[in-house]
Amino acid sequence: MTATGVNEKPGNHQNPAASRVVLTARDLRRDFGGFTAVNNVNLDVYHAKVHALIGPNGAGKTTVFNLLTKFLQPTSGKITLLDHDITNMAPARVARMGLVRSFQISAVFPHLTVLENIRIALQRPGNLAVQFWLPLGRLDVLNDRAMELLTSVGLENEYDSQAADLSYGRKRVLEIATTLALDPKVLLLDEPMAGMGGEDVGMVAELIREVAKTRAVLMVEHNLKVVADLCDHITVLQRGEILAEGDYATVSNDERVKVAYMGTDHD
């Protein structure tokens, strides 16, 4: 299965450029009144790698996501995307630079069709978003590319259904396909597997693996099996601070992590 049709060179994940850092956070901190939700967080997200952010509920994972995508403004710290300082940028601008996120609750446009959902993402790069005087038929030029994306994720037969009528897992797939339509450099997925049945998890995991060959992925995930299978690098958060970092073996053998997150004996 090919997830995208975009610049996929075989063996790209092995080439030296693949190990470059695309997104960094330095000393990230966010206060809500007197409460410090995120403190002293440093992250390096690499091209063509899957990076997981895990931690118990309330650890600040979603807040970190909101800070990185600028939906929240950090109290202090610095964020860079592809060597540009984005610390004070508007969220839509950050998205246009190639840092695109998903949301914990599935983010589709429920009362639009599947095809229209994808086309929304294609409209802006296609320069067809502000024309209030043109008929809708003008958007048909985007249909080929939209169907290509839908076919790559196996949603081509549902193109005319309302997004609201899709199953939960398929909504997630549609959401990822919509995100891919922007050809992002960095993909931030907030609990992509949450609330999914077994086969859907496999389908989405496969899709993420495919996607990560050509771009960086940072994901929040609770399903540790998925994390173990999929992720190259793991950051564990606890009470807004980084508790441990490394690959799955390192992190899962860390005593502090066992105690704080997985219970004393997680097997």
Whichever of 123 and 223 has its CB closer to other proteins, that residue is 123
- Kindly state whether residue 82 participates in binding other proteins, applying the rule CB under 8 A: no
- Coil, strand or helix at 238: strand
Number of residues located near other proteins, criterion CB under 8 A: 43
Which of 30, 47, 51, 101 binds other proteins (CB under 8 A)? It is 101
C-alpha to C-alpha distance for 64 and 99, rounded to whole angstroms: 14
Which of 7, 10, 17, 132 binds other proteins (CB under 8 A)? It is 132
Closest CB 261 distance from other proteins, rounded Å: 28
Alpha helices in 88-215 (DSSP H): 91-96, 114-123, 143-152, 168-180, 198-211
Closest CB 93 distance from other proteins, rounded Å: 8
Whichever of 23 and 121 has its CB closer to other proteins, that residue is 121
Strand ranges across the sheet with 233-238: 99-101, 186-190, 216-220, 50-54, 233-238, 241-246
Whether 68 contacts 74, CB under 8 Å? no
- Kindly state whether residue 131 participates in binding other proteins, applying the rule CB under 8 A: yes
Q: CB neighbours of 123 closer than 8 A, spacing ≥ 6? A: 129, 139, 142
Which of 2, 58, 76, 90 binds other proteins (CB under 8 A)? It is 90
For residue 241, with 0-12 CB atoms within 10 Å meaning exposed, 13-18 middle and 19 or more buried, which class applies?
middle
- Kindly state whether residue 130 participates in binding other proteins, applying the rule CB under 8 A: yes
Q: How many other C-beta atoms can be found within 10 angstroms of the C-beta atom of residue 225?
A: 11
Determine how β-strand 76-81 pairs with β-strand 84-85.
antiparallel
Which of 24, 40, 123, 151 binds other proteins (CB under 8 A)? It is 123
* Window 154-213: residues binding other proteins (CB under 8 A): 160-162, 165, 178-179, 182
Whether 261 contacts 54, CB under 8 Å? yes
- Kindly state whether residue 113 participates in binding other proteins, applying the rule CB under 8 A: yes
Whichever of 54 and 100 has its CB closer to other proteins, that residue is 100
Whichever of 160 and 265 has its CB closer to other proteins, that residue is 160
> Which one of 13-21, 45-53, 95-103, 212-220 is the stretch in contact with other proteins (CB under 8 A)?
95-103
Q: How many other C-beta atoms can be found within 10 angstroms of the C-beta atom of residue 139?
A: 20
- Kindly state whether residue 141 participates in binding other proteins, applying the rule CB under 8 A: no
Whichever of 169 and 251 has its CB closer to other proteins, that residue is 169
Residue type, 54: I
Positions that interact with other proteins (CB under 8 A) = 69, 71, 90-93, 95-96, 100-103, 107-113, 116, 119-121, 123-124, 128-136, 138-139, 160-162, 165, 178-179, 182
